[in-house]
A = this chain, B = another copy of it.
């Protein structure tokens, strides 16, 4: 039963997904840590269809490259609500040139703890949905 006569879900194009990813600043990273699923919010930026974020040293992200991660961003636009999920391989960047070119050094993070690990998610899949006329 629809929530209202006009409520509907629309699959987003990859183009729209990247546009929306570029419009937000906080996403949620889901990953495996010691065999268990964990999730936490991160400030991020998008450049050339790659997601970049920072993390504190010695954190849960030590073995981040071992398993694919899932990264979700959602938001509202007028009466619609949208959600985009990126799945891919995350890796800590080891080269100064990669780090500098990504723009990550200027990324503001909510958590003021020093963050010296620079991570990128190279997407395998990107999918998104828009919930039209959603009550919020």
Contact = CB atoms under 8 A, between A and B. Distances in A.
A28 B28 contact: yes
Interface residues of A, number: 42
A68 B111 contact: no
Interface class of chain A by DSSP? strand
Contacts of A17: none
Interface string A111-136: 11110000000000000010100111
Chain B CB within 10 Å — which of A31, A38, A110, A136 has the most?
A110
Contact of A30 (B30, B81, B111): B30
Contacts of A71: 39
Interface string A25-66: 110101110001111110000000000000000000000000
Given A28-B28, A74-B26, A69 B37 contact: yes
Contact of A9 (B69, B111, B134): B111
A111 B131 contact: yes
Contact of A39 (B30, B36, B81, B131): B30
A7 interface: yes
A30 B131 contact: no
